Amino acid sequence: MLSKTAVSEVTEILNDEFEAFQNRDLSSLRVEYLFLDAVYEGIQRLTGLDRGILCALGILRDRRKVLIHLAVGNKESYQDWLIGSLS
For 73, counting Cβ atoms within 10 Å of its Cβ (0-12 exposed, 13-18 middle, 19+ buried), the class is buried
Report, as an integer, the average pLDDT of 54-81: 84
Report, as an integer, the average pLDDT of 24-52: 82
pLDDT at 83: 61
Reduced to 3 states, what is the DSSP secondary structure of residue 1? Answer: coil
| 51, 74 contact by CB (below 8 A) | yes
User: By C-alpha distance, which of 28, 20, 33, 78 is closest to 59?
Assistant: 33
pLDDT at 71: 82
Report, as an integer, the average pLDDT of 56-66: 95
Q: What residue ranges do the domains of the chain occupy?
A: 26-86
Report, as an integer, the average pLDDT of 52-79: 85
Report, as an integer, the average pLDDT of 44-71: 85
pLDDT band at 53 (very low <50, low <70, confident <90, very high): confident
- Say if pTM beats, i.e. exceeds, 0.75: no
